[in-house]
Structures are given as structure tokens and as C-alpha cells.
């Protein structure tokens, strides 16, 4: 009798263990199936978001093309491209789309800090360095970073004096790396500078860009800080910011002639080929929201003047 009771007890324990194992297995299978389903949904939403964002890029390109055909004399804030696209519901997929265009030639071009000759030899562009130092000062950022950025771009390994850094500084960091020694492709490369930090970058990012060197600055869209940095020590445009914004709602301001009236003769000669009222490089930012996912596309668009064509030359996703 005791043996039979013992056998029934063992059988009961085995049955409980089998049920427990089956429950664990069923839960694991169900959980993995749920994860696979979510991954599939997320991947499909990402693919959808990408295609919608590419449609937004084409929309932006078409707006720039039409603008060139309708008004080729100036690019200013009164034009269609300067009006952001408000959130547009995507009824078929249950999301929304929005976007904006920014004129990158209204910013300081970091690649102007250094000039390269045909042999690949580089020299610092001292007038551009001085302008950038004045811009940094107006933004309450230490002007020493102008020298650091110039050293990051130039082709030699000689640190600038008194401000600069080359490979010996970067190879002592953790992890170690080397300077680019070539033109910058994205302004976010500034985060590679030693101790530059995200706070300085967020403050400076709206005022700088990375374009092929030598692009004229569009006075119609340049910030008051950049305009004053080009003038010199004067703060004419930053102090008159509100009045300037009101004027910019009606026309291009300042025009080349209006801006030159604020310049000394030496400064006029220095900036003669560096200022204008039109632009060829624009940044399209497209946001697509599907469900709980938000996809961001940054697209650098180049508008060729003669052929009246717009094409993307650089794209990034999620971060600029």
C-alpha cells in the first residue's frame, strides 16, 4: 500500500512538472511570436516612413524648382520654400507628415576656414577665421574653437598657435582617433573636437553648415549674428533684430547694396565675392510619424542654377 501511495505521489509530481514545463514553453512561444510580430510591424512601418519621407523630399525639390523658375533674383523668407509644411494626416496608414526647408547659404560655411590648392596643400583663411571668431563671440562661445576647427580641416599636422590641435592631442583621447585633415561633410563633426561638447554644438549648430568652400552667403536669409560678424565689431543687425524680422516678412533684407553701406572700404573688398541674394544649397527636414514611431530624414539639396535641376547630395536619418 505504501509503495502504491509513493508511486502515485511521484506521478503527481511528474504531472505537475510536465504542466509547468508546458506552460513555460507555451508562454515562451507566445512571447517570441509577439516579438516577431512587433518586429515585422516596426520594419514595415520603417519602410513606409522611408518611402513617405522620400516623397516629401521630392515635394521639397519641386518647390525649389518652381521657385527658381518664378523668381530667380532672390531667395528670401517671403517665398514658398520658406513656409514649413504643417502636419498633414496620413489617413490610409494612420500617421502624419510634416517638413521644412532651410537655406544653408544663410549660415557660416565651416569649410571656408581653410583653402586648398590644386596640389592638396592647405592654408588657413585668416579673414574667414576672424569672421568666425567674431560669430563665436556674439554667440557667447569661446573664439578659440575657430583655430581648433581649422586644424581639424587643414591637411598638415602642425597645430595652430595659440589655439589649435592636431593628431598628438586626439591620439591621447580615449578612444584615440586622428584629425580629418579634409573638408567637413557634416557640421556635427564639431562634436569630435576635444571637450567641445553637446551644449556648445546645440548653441552653434543653427548658425553653421558644411558646404563646398567658396559659396556666397545669402544676405536675405543670414542670421543677424552672422551679418554682424561679417561687418566687424558693430552690432547693427543683432540690435535691430525685431525690425529686421518685420522687414524680412515683406522682402529680401538686407540687399547687397544695403549691406555694403555698413562696410568699410577694406571690408567691401574682402567680402566682394562672398555675399549675394540667392542660394543653391538647402536642407530639407522631413518628419513622418506612424503609430508610435517617428522617422526623420535630413536631405541636403543642391539646386543648379543653369539647368534648373534639384538633386540630393547627402542624406542622413534620425540625426543630422
DSSP string, 236-254: HHHHTHHHHHHHHTTS-SS
pLDDT at position 41 is 66
Phi-psi region of 41 (alpha: psi -120 to 50; beta: other; left: phi over 0): alpha
**Tell me, what DSSP letter sits at residue 291?**
T
pLDDT at residue 308 in the model:
75
* Distance of alpha carbon 158 from the chain centroid: 29
pLDDT of residue 7: 60
Residue 1 has a pLDDT of: 54
In angstroms, the CA 72 to CA 4 distance is: 99
107-208 matches 2-105+281-317 in CATH topology = no
Over the chain (320 residues), the average pLDDT of each successive run of 10 is 60 78 81 71 82 94 92 91 92 88 97 90 92 96 96 90 89 92 94 94 97 96 96 89 94 95 88 93 95 91 82 84
Handedness of CA 66, 78, 259, 241 (dihedral sign): negative
The owner of cell 552653434 is: 204
- Domain-by-domain residue ranges, the chain? 2-105+281-317, 107-208, 220-273
Cα atoms in the Cβ-side hemisphere of radius 13 Å centred on 210: 16
Beta bridge partners of 124: 114
CA 165, CA 23: separation in Å to the nearest integer?
62
Q: How far is CA 26 from the centre of its chain?
A: 47
Contact 9, 17 (CB under 8 A): no
How far, CA to CA in Å, does 44 sit from each of 47, 54, 93, 290, 292? 5, 15, 11, 10, 13
Q: Quick one: which of 185, 183, 147, 190 has its CA closest to 166?
A: 147
pLDDT of res. 154: 93
Q: Residue 35 is placed in which grid cell?
A: 516579438
Q: Which contiguous run of DSSP H or E holds residue 299?
A: strand 293-304
Cell 598628438 appears where?
Answer: 168
Query: Residue 162: its pLDDT value, please?
Result: 83
Compute the distance between CA of residue 311 and CA of residue 313 in angstroms, rounded to an integer. 6
Q: What are the cell numbers at 269?
A: 573688398
CATH assignment of 2-105+281-317, among 3.30.1300.30, 3.10.20.30, 3.40.350.10, 3.40.50.300: 3.30.1300.30
107-208 to CATH, choices 3.40.50.2300, 1.20.1070.10, 1.10.40.60, 1.10.3720.10? 1.10.40.60
The pLDDT score that the predictor gives to residue 184 is 94
Q: Give pLDDT, residue 262.
A: 86
Amino acid at each position: 500500500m505504501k509503495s502504491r501511495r509513493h508511486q502515485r505521489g511521484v506521478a503527481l509530481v511528474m504531472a505537475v512538472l510536465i504542466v509547468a514545463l508546458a506552460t513555460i514553453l507555451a508562454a515562451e512561444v507566445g512571447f517570441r511570436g509577439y516579438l516577431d510580430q512587433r518586429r515585422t510591424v516596426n520594419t514595415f512601418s520603417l519602410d513606409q516612413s522611408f518611402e513617405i519621407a522620400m516623397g516629401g523630399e521630392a515635394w521639397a525639390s519641386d518647390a525649389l524648382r518652381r521657385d527658381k523658375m518664378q523668381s530667380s533674383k532672390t531667395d528670401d523668407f517671403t517665398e514658398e520654400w520658406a513656409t514649413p509644411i504643417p502636419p498633414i494626416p496620413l489617413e490610409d496608414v494612420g500617421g502624419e507628415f510634416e517638413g521644412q526647408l532651410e537655406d544653408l547659404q544663410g549660415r557660416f560655411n565651416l569649410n571656408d576656414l581653410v583653402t586648398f590648392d590644386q596640389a592638396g596643400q592647405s592654408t588657413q583663411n585668416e579673414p574667414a577665421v576672424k569672421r568666425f571668431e567674431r560669430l563665436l563671440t556674439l554667440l557667447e562661445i569661446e573664439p578659440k574653437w575657430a583655430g581648433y576647427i581649422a586644424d581639424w580641416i587643414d591637411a598638415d599636422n602642425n597645430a595652430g598657435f595659440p589655439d589649435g590641435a592636431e593628431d598628438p592631442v586626439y591620439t591621447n583621447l580615449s578612444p584615440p582617433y586622428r584629425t580629418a585633415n579634409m573638408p567637413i561633410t557634416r557640421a556635427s563633426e564639431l562634436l569630435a573636437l576635444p571637450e567641445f561638447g553637446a551644449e556648445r554644438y546645440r548653441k552653434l549648430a543653427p548658425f553653421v553648415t558644411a558646404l563646398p568652400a567658396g559659396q556666397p552667403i545669402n544676405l536675405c536669409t543670414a542670421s543677424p549674428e552672422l551679418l554682424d560678424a561679417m561687418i566687424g565689431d558693430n552690432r547693427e543687425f543683432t540690435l535691430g533684430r525685431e525690425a529686421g524680422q518685420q522687414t524680412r516678412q515683406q522682402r529680401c533684407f538686407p540687399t547687397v547694396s544695403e549691406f555694403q553701406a555698413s562696410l568699410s572700404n577694406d571690408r567691401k573688398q574682402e567680402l566682394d565675392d562672398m555675399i549675394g541674394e540667392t542660394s543653391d544649397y538647402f536642407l530639407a527636414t522631413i518628419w513622418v510619424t506612424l503609430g508610435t514611431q517617428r522617422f526623420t530624414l535630413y536631405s541636403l539639396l543642391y539646386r543648379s542654377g543653369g539647368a534648373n535641376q534639384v538633386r540630393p547630395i547627402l542624406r542622413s536619418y534620425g540625426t543630422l
